[in-house]
Amino acid sequence: MRYNLKMTIKKLPTTKNPWKAQTSKKIFDNPWLSVHEDKVINPGGGISHYGKISFKNLAIGIIPLDENNNTWLVGQYRYVPDCYSWEIPMGGGALKVAPLDSAKRELKEETGLIADDWQELMKLHTSNSVTDERGIIYVARALTQGETEFEETEDLLIQKLSLDEAVERVLSGEITDAISVAGLLKLKQTI
């Protein structure tokens, strides 16, 4: 198949799913995710095996922003990548709970902040080749400082800094969390 590299696509194609699921077997399940092994017919007509991770929560990210364009980052050691990570406040939101309610809970829990003004910044897929996880990022303004309410699994540091400095940390590679990177870069482009 040949492609015209000069072609400009103004709208995403709305084609039917070319993948045909044959069988699906759950091979792992816990309160946060399940893993399935699917046998599929791929777009070329061949048989493929696909591992699919299905999350039981939305990924919710929040960028608190004060009147001087300062924001807050949360630092914690992440078990799976085995490294320390600076991120925007974030967490999981139950699928049956309004995403904004989950965002308000996460912001208060991790930073102690309460916001009176909320705006959805963006939606995203975190790793769409192997997972169905969806994320929503909010900007929270009109902030009041309260007490944090860390979960048992959280050993967090909280840092207040300018949005410009947070974006510099993204560009330098210090911030690598995908939701944080996407949200901070998009917010910087919109203000």
Catalytic residues: 154
Beta-strand runs (E) in 12-149: 20-29, 33-41, 47-55, 57-64, 70-78, 83-87, 90-94, 113-125, 134-145
> d(Cα 47, Cα 84) in Å, to the nearest integer?
40
Antiparallel, parallel or unpaired: β 157-162 and 57-64:
unpaired
State which amino acid sits at residue 55: F
Closest CA to 89 of 76, 100, 73: 73
Tokens 């482009």 label which residue?
189
The C-alpha atoms of residue 24 and residue 120 are separated, in whole angstroms, by 35
Q: In b/e form, how buried is each residue of 56-87, taking b as 16+ CB within 10 angstroms?
A: ebbbbbbbbbbeeebbbbbebeeeeeeeebbb
